[in-house]
Each structure stands twice: as C-alpha cells, then as structure tokens.
Amino acid sequence: MLEITIYSISGQGGVTAAKLLALSALYDGKYSQAIPQFGPERRGALVTSYVRISDEVIRKHSRIRNPDIIVIFDVKNKVEVNSKIAILNSKNNITLNAEKIYCIDANKIASDLGLIKEGLPIINTAMVGATAKICNISLNSVKKAIADEIKDERNVKAAKIAYEVVKCD
C-alpha cells in the first residue's frame, strides 16, 4: 500500500487533488482512498489531505501518520517531512529530510496555460500529474479522472505536462 500526504493552502485544491489521485488509481484498477481534512474550512489555512493506493481492499480509515510520499503545494509552509519521497511545487531545488525529492514548477505550468484564479495559479492538477507519475499511475487514467471531475480541459493539459516533465529513476 502506498500512503500519500498532501499539504496545501486552503483554496489551492489539495482536497480535490487527493480525490483526483484516488480516482486515477481506481481507473488503473486499484483500490484507493481520499481523506480530506475534517472540519470547518478556512481560506488561507494549511490543509492536509491523504491518499491511499493499494492492490488489495483498504480497510483502515485513520489518517496517515507515516506517509511514503509527501506532496507540498506551497513550500513557504514549513511542514515536517518524514517520508522517503517528497514532491514540491518549486522551480528551485530544495533540500529536505527525504531520500528522494522531486521539484516541479507547477506555478509556471499553470500560469503558462492561463490557469489563474483570483491572481493565483491553479496548481493542483499539475501536482496531480507529477505525483501520479511517481506513483506509477497511467497518464490515461489521470487524464480521464481530471476530465470527469473538472470542466476546464486546461487542467488535463497541466497534468499531462507535469507527468511528462518528472523524471523517475
């Protein structure tokens, strides 16, 4: 089982990203789970969402305490990294306490496509694309999941670009 924790700022679409990853995994024939942060939502606050992906039925429903992968939408937020893999929305390389760090310039991908809302780039679909690649989810499933959930097809493009940019070992 693969466990992923996503840190985002409320309004950045971290909860939607978790759902899109879980849905992509389902389209790949896996079992999956997306857990949002529970409780009242506050714009601008740190939001934690969780994703589980497995070949077997997932029984547990607790939130993830020791993720395999941490995804950070806004690196200005200091979060504790305790995972093997970290995926960051950043154009520069950043050193963190993780064995493998992937930096993806999701801001640029979104901005280039004109995916901007209230002056801020909509980066969640690019981050889904990058994360899906690292999780071995097929690009077709990612595209289908995003097309199912989001009308603006530039989101599919953002995910595809990010998926193809990430270099996996």
Q: Which of residues 30-49 bind another protein (CB under 8 A)?
A: 31-36, 38-40
Q: Report d(CA 111, CA 97) in Å as an integer.
A: 29
Q: Which of residues 125-154 bind another protein (CB under 8 A)?
A: none
Q: Which is nearer to another protein, 64 or 85 (CB)?
A: 64
Residue whose tokens read 């700022």: 9
CA of 169: how far to CAs of 69, 71, 88, 100, 101, in Å? 15, 18, 17, 10, 12
In the complex, minimum distance from the CB of residue 125 to another protein, in angstroms, rounded to a whole number: 17
Q: Which of residues 55-94 bind another protein (CB under 8 A)?
A: 58-63, 65
Q: Report d(CA 32, CA 35) in Å as an integer.
A: 10
19 sits near another protein (criterion: CB under 8 A): yes
Task: Name the site residues for another protein (rule: CB under 8 A).
Answer: 19, 22-23, 26, 31-36, 38-40, 58-63, 65
